[in-house]
Amino acid sequence: MKGGKQMRKRKNRQKIFCIGFAFCLWISGFTMVSADNASGMDKSYIKNFTCTNNIGNTKIELNVSADVWSDGPYAQINKIIGNDLNVTSDIPYIEFEDYNIDVWSAEGTYPTTRLFYTYNGTLKVKVTDATPTVVIEELEKEGFCGGEPVSGITEYIKNIDECGEIQLYQ
């Protein structure tokens, strides 16, 4: 009886996660996922995945490194080695602050062939009177909100909440 109750709880958590995950994918828009090519390699190696989210001229890249084992056509992810976020933009003074990253096995255990990821944080841009109007227009078009100027500097912010899936066989 107790085992059945725990199993129902686990299934309910999985359903809630799947619904939340689907909503997150729907709300976050389109994110590109790519992986380096390790074809022809056998046994253990490091595989790097890059998940890219474009916001106007700003690019956020989540880089995930995984320990992968392969033998012929079969492969599996044994563990996550590391991850980091990079922001590139032609907008000066842009920073990604207070961010969190989480990457985990889609099945909840390793080895796996699928990973889920999520990251969130705040993109901040400091704008001065000398900032071209076209930059401010782009920020506003992409959903950045500007605050009140302090000492001639206005801070524009945009909260980012992104999630997705990485598949070993993509």
Asked which of 3-7, 60-64, 129-133, 137-141 is least confident by mean pLDDT, the reply is 3-7
Model confidence over 125-163: pLDDT tens digits? 999 988 888 889 989 999 999 989 999 899 999 999 999
| CB burial string 17-30: b at 16+ within 10 A, e below | eeeebeeeeeeeee
| pTM across the whole model | 0.72
C-alpha 156: how far from its chain's center?
A: 21
